[in-house]
Amino acid sequence: MLSADAVKNMLIAVADTVIANEDILGEADRQLGDGDHGIGMTKGFTAAKAQLEALEPTSVSQVFTTTGMALMSTMGGASGAVFGMMFQSGGMAIASAEGLDAATLSTFLEASAQGVMNIGKAKPGDKTMVDALVPAQAAAANVKDGTIAEALAAAAEGARVGMEKSKDMIAQHGRARTLGEKCIGHPDAGAVSVSIIFKRMSEFAAA
Ligand code: ADP
Ligand code: MG
């Protein structure tokens, strides 16, 4: 089980990795959107990192909701709302958790995916970050009885496979929607972000 302090350090590591991937995220968005996804995520995770560093966490829930609120208030737009909600809805669902274990992660991800779909109205298959987040949730749910490292490894693999599958989808939201079949072959930029986020969490838990 990861303590609140460990989850704080894990999310700071996630922030550093997202920031380091700014160009890759920007390039992914350039293929289908306006190319600003790397800039937006860097802005959001720079703010989240600063708030996390200043936080003396009392719960894992608080670590996630602090991250979500920082993203939401600094990124703006649809992506700020959905990436903010990913952490905030999940965090709120585990308010009583004493640490992050596999079962808690599963509860977190269920609420996270639901919160994102409620606010953004995207469904699986619409070529958004939901297409990485929902498979991450499904994969983690299968490892509820495992260790947190196993559950995060499953979530990371689910997100990666979902991100790959988003290449074959035709976008139903945002600017990419006007591209129709020209979308095919490129992954959704937000799905790339979700995949990077869970990969880093998994590496943290395995270390
Ligand atoms: P913008 O779309 O304002 O340029 P970004 O480029 O930062 O913002 O983010 C785009 C990403 O946000 C998309 O690749 C997609 O994954 C995600 N996204 C946008 N709108 C939605 C939505 N309604 N539901 C889920 N995800 C969304
Ligand atoms: Mg964009």
Does 79 sit in the ligand 1 pocket, CB within 6 Å? yes
In the chain, the number of structural domains is 1
- 2: which strand partners? 100
Does 188 sit in the ligand 1 pocket, CB within 6 Å? yes
Question: Which pLDDT belongs to residue 187?
Answer: 97
Plot region of 40 (φ>0 → left; ψ -120 to 50 → alpha; else → beta): alpha
* Angle value at C-alpha 67, between 124 and 5, nearest 5 degrees: 120
Q: Residue 41 is part of a domain; what is its CATH number?
A: 1.25.40.340
Mean pLDDT of 35-60: 98
- Range of the structural domain that residue 121 is part of: 4-206
In total, the chain counts a number of residues equal to 207
CA–CA separation, 119 and 114 (whole Å): 9
Does 86 sit in the ligand 1 pocket, CB within 6 Å? no
pLDDT single digits (tens) 89-147: 999 999 999 999 999 999 999 999 999 999 999 999 999 999 999 999 999 999 999 99
